[in-house]
Chain A
Amino acid sequence: NAGVTQTPKFQVLKTGQSMTLQCAQDMNHNSMYWYRQDPGMGLRLIYYSASEGTTDKGEVPNGYNVSRLNKREFSLRLESAAPSQTSVYFCASTPWRGRGTGELFFGEGSRLTVL
């Protein structure tokens, strides 16, 4: 089973460039999330989508946009990349809508470097 698949796995951008991180899950999960991981900071929520057609901001949304394209796919876009967005990005999903229990399934991560 593929689970949660993220592309690309690695990307180097110049300041001001734009890019989209793609995420797809094949587990028929309702809710999907984008986190960033920085050394010593744990995982911080950027945006989430509780169900198809809805998105909402997390803890650190500035500089990002998201699209829940359908139930399977949730993309993260950087319109004008900045060095502060150098990080490892994780997509995650969970089957629950409503009474969620936090049991997330994570992708393998996308390592982004902004020069």
Chain B
Amino acid sequence: GQQLNQSPQSMFIQEGEDVSMNCTSSSIFNTWLWYKQDPGEGPVLLIALYKAGELTSNGRLTAQFGITRKDSFLNISASIPSDVGIYFCAGHQSNAGGTSYGKLTFGQGTILTVHP
């Protein structure tokens, strides 16, 4: 099946540092999404991107939908301890008829640890 390659697999950073992670695919997606999973919880949507080239911010988070539609990146600026968790990219691909049922392909996740 389709696969998303997410990197890095894990990051250990100091509070205040900026973070960057990315996702690449061999397939084209119509939507790229970034989710965060806190320990013991389900993933929560952070940012959704709908157009190639789109750059979207949500507070300290910035994400971009790659021009080729095969990649996306997420940046976190000035990290804080509560940024700890697993970050997942996900791609959504509608079929030719434009119908879809929310079937996402997920990356393997980036585990972020922030040292105070």
Q: Chain A interface (Cβ within 8 Å of chain B)?
A: 4, 31, 33, 40-45, 48, 50, 56, 58-59, 90, 92, 94, 96-109
Contacts and interface: CB of A to CB of B under 8 A. Distances in A.
A100 B98 contact: no
B97 to A, nearest CB: 9
B40 A108 contact: yes
B102 A99 contact: no
Interface of B: 1, 4, 6, 9, 31, 33, 40-45, 48, 50, 88, 90-92, 94, 98-104, 106-109
Nearest to B108: A42
A36 B45 CA distance: 17
A9 B88 CA distance: 22
Nearest to A43: B106
B102 A102 contact: yes
B86 to A, nearest CB: 9
Given A33-B102, A99-B100, A104 B45 contact: yes
